[in-house]
Chains A and B, each alone.
Chain A
Amino acid sequence: MTGFAKLIRTTAFRLTLVYLFLFALFAASLLAYFAWNTRRLITEQISTTVSAEISEITDIYTRRGLHGLVRTIENRALRPGANLYLVTTPTGQAIAGNVGSLAPGVIGSSGWSETFYRRLDDPRDENHRALVYVTQLESGFRLLIGRDLDERRRMFGIVAKAAQWSMLVVIVLGIGGGIFVARRVLHRIDAMTGTTRRIMAGDLSGRLPVGRSGDELDRLAENLNAMLERIEALMTGLKEVSDNIAHDLKTPLTRLRNRAEEALAKSRSEAEYRSALERTIEESDGLIRTFNALLMIARAESGQARGDMVDFDAADVAAGIHELYEPLAEEDGMTLQVKAVSAPLHGNRELISQALANLVENAIKYGKPAAVPLDTDAASTARDILIEARQDGAHVLLSVRDHGPGIPEGDRKHAIERFVRLEASRTLPGSGLGLSLASAVATLHGGELRLGDAHPGLTATLVLPVSADAGARLAAQTQDVPQKAA
Chain B
Amino acid sequence: MRLLIIEDDRESADYLVKAFREVGHIADLAGDGEEGLAMAESGDYDVLVVDRMLPKRDGLSLIGVLRDKGNRTPVLILSALGQVDDRIKGLRAGGDDYLPKPYSFAELLARVEVLSRRHGGPAEETTYKVGDLELDRLSHRVARGKDELTLQPREFRLLEYLMKHAGQVVTRTMLLENVWDYHFDPQTNVIDVHISRLRSKIDKGFERPLLHTIRGAGYMIRDGLR
Q: Please tell me which stretch of B2-10, B71-79, B160-168, B186-194 contacts chain A, meaning at least 4 of its Cβ atoms lie within 8 angstroms of it.
A: B186-194
Verify if A281 is at the interface (C-beta below 8 Å from B). yes
Verify if A324 is at the interface (C-beta below 8 Å from B). yes
CA distance A394 to B48 in the complex (A): 49
Q: Please tell me which stretch of B52-60, B83-91, B139-147, B205-213 contacts chain A, meaning at least 4 of its Cβ atoms lie within 8 angstroms of it.
A: B83-91
Q: Do the beta carbons of A299 and B83 come within 8 Å of each other?
A: yes
Max chain A Cβ within 10 angstroms of own Cβ: one of B85, B104, B190: B190
Chain A residues closer than 8 Å to B82, beta-carbon distance: 292, 295
Instruction: Name A351's closest neighbour in chain B (CB-CB).
Output: B84
Closest chain-B Cβ to A319's Cβ sits at a distance in Å of 11
- Given known A281-B216, A320-B180, contact A431–B187 (CB-CB < 8 A): yes
Verify if B182 is at the interface (C-beta below 8 Å from A). yes
- Given known A323-B154, A331-B193, contact A305–B83 (CB-CB < 8 A): yes
Q: Do the beta carbons of A296 and B83 come within 8 Å of each other?
A: yes
Q: Which of B182, B188, B189, B216 contacts A353 (CB 8 A)?
A: B182
Chain B residues closer than 8 Å to A328, beta-carbon distance: 188-190, 193
Instruction: Name A357's closest neighbour in chain B (CB-CB).
Output: B186
Q: Do the beta carbons of A430 and B83 come within 8 Å of each other?
A: no
Closest chain-B Cβ to A190's Cβ sits at a distance in Å of 48
Verify if B197 is at the interface (C-beta below 8 Å from A). yes
CA distance A4 to B160 in the complex (A): 86
Q: Do the beta carbons of A324 and B180 come within 8 Å of each other?
A: yes
Verify if B68 is at the interface (C-beta below 8 Å from A). no
Q: Do the beta carbons of B88 and A289 come within 8 Å of each other?
A: no
CA distance A163 to B219 in the complex (A): 104
Interface size on A, residues (CB 8 A): 35
Q: Which of A289, A305, A325, A434 contacts B190 (CB 8 A)?
A: A325
Closest chain-B Cβ to A306's Cβ sits at a distance in Å of 9
Verify if A303 is at the interface (C-beta below 8 Å from B). no
Instruction: Name B198's closest neighbour in chain A (CB-CB).
Output: A327
- Given known A281-B216, A328-B188, contact A295–B180 (CB-CB < 8 A): no
Closest chain-A Cβ to B148's Cβ sits at a distance in Å of 22
Q: Which of B88, B180, B182, B186 contacts A361 (CB 8 A)?
A: B186
Verify if A288 is at the interface (C-beta below 8 Å from B). yes
- Given known A281-B216, A295-B83, contact A289–B193 (CB-CB < 8 A): no
CA distance A363 to B102 in the complex (A): 29
- Given known A308-B88, A348-B84, contact A357–B184 (CB-CB < 8 A): yes
Verify if B119 is at the interface (C-beta below 8 Å from A). no
Residues 280-323 (chain A) with a chain B CB within 8 angstroms: 281, 284-285, 288-289, 292, 295-296, 299, 304-305, 307-308, 320, 323
Max chain B Cβ within 10 angstroms of own Cβ: one of A278, A295, A328, A353: A328
In the complex, the number of residue pairs spanning A and B with C-beta atoms less than 8 Å apart equals 64
Q: Do the beta carbons of A289 and B189 come within 8 Å of each other?
A: no
Chain A residues closer than 8 Å to B154, beta-carbon distance: 323
Q: Do the beta carbons of B197 and A327 come within 8 Å of each other?
A: yes
Instruction: Name A282's closest neighbour in chain B (CB-CB).
Output: B216
Verify if B125 is at the interface (C-beta below 8 Å from A). no
Verify if A203 is at the interface (C-beta below 8 Å from B). no
CA distance A281 to B197 in the complex (A): 27
CA distance A295 to B101 in the complex (A): 13
Verify if B185 is at the interface (C-beta below 8 Å from A). yes
Q: Do the beta carbons of B189 and A308 come within 8 Å of each other?
A: no
Residues 113-127 (chain B) with a chain A CB within 8 angstroms: none
Q: Do the beta carbons of B104 and A281 come within 8 Å of each other?
A: yes
Q: Do the beta carbons of B186 and A278 come within 8 Å of each other?
A: no
Q: Do the beta carbons of A289 and B194 come within 8 Å of each other?
A: no
Closest chain-B Cβ to A270's Cβ sits at a distance in Å of 15
CA distance A328 to B197 in the complex (A): 10
Instruction: Name B180's closest neighbour in chain A (CB-CB).
Output: A324
B interface footprint on A315-350 (CB within 8 Å = 1, 0 otherwise): 000001001110110110000000000000000101
Verify if A389 is at the interface (C-beta below 8 Å from B). no
Verify if A364 is at the interface (C-beta below 8 Å from B). yes
Q: Do the beta carbons of B188 and A364 come within 8 Å of each other?
A: yes
Q: Do the beta carbons of A278 and B84 come within 8 Å of each other?
A: no
Q: Do the beta carbons of B187 and A430 come within 8 Å of each other?
A: yes
Chain A residues closer than 8 Å to B85, beta-carbon distance: 304-305, 307-308
Q: Do the beta carbons of A350 and B84 come within 8 Å of each other?
A: yes
Chain A residues closer than 8 Å to B84, beta-carbon distance: 305, 308, 348, 350-351
Verify if A89 is at the interface (C-beta below 8 Å from B). no
Closest chain-A Cβ to B198's Cβ sits at a distance in Å of 10
Chain A residues closer than 8 Å to B194, beta-carbon distance: 324, 327
CA distance A91 to B194 in the complex (A): 143
- Given known A305-B83, A325-B190, A328-B193, contact A289–B104 (CB-CB < 8 A): no
Chain A residues closer than 8 Å to B197, beta-carbon distance: 327
Verify if A354 is at the interface (C-beta below 8 Å from B). yes
Chain B residues closer than 8 Å to A325, beta-carbon distance: 190
CA distance A331 to B196 in the complex (A): 10
21 A-B pairs whose Cβ atoms sit less than 8 Å apart in the complex: A281-B104, A281-B216, A288-B102, A289-B185, A289-B187, A295-B82, A295-B83, A304-B85, A305-B83, A320-B180, A327-B190, A327-B193, A328-B189, A328-B190, A350-B84, A353-B182, A354-B182, A354-B184, A357-B184, A361-B187, A364-B188
The 10 closest A-B pairs by CB, nearest first: A354-B184, A327-B193, A328-B193, A328-B190, A350-B84, A307-B85, A331-B193, A308-B85, A327-B197, A361-B188
Q: Could you list which residues of chain B lie within 8 angstroms of chain A, going by C-beta atoms?
A: 82-85, 88, 100, 102, 104, 154, 180, 182-190, 193-194, 197, 216
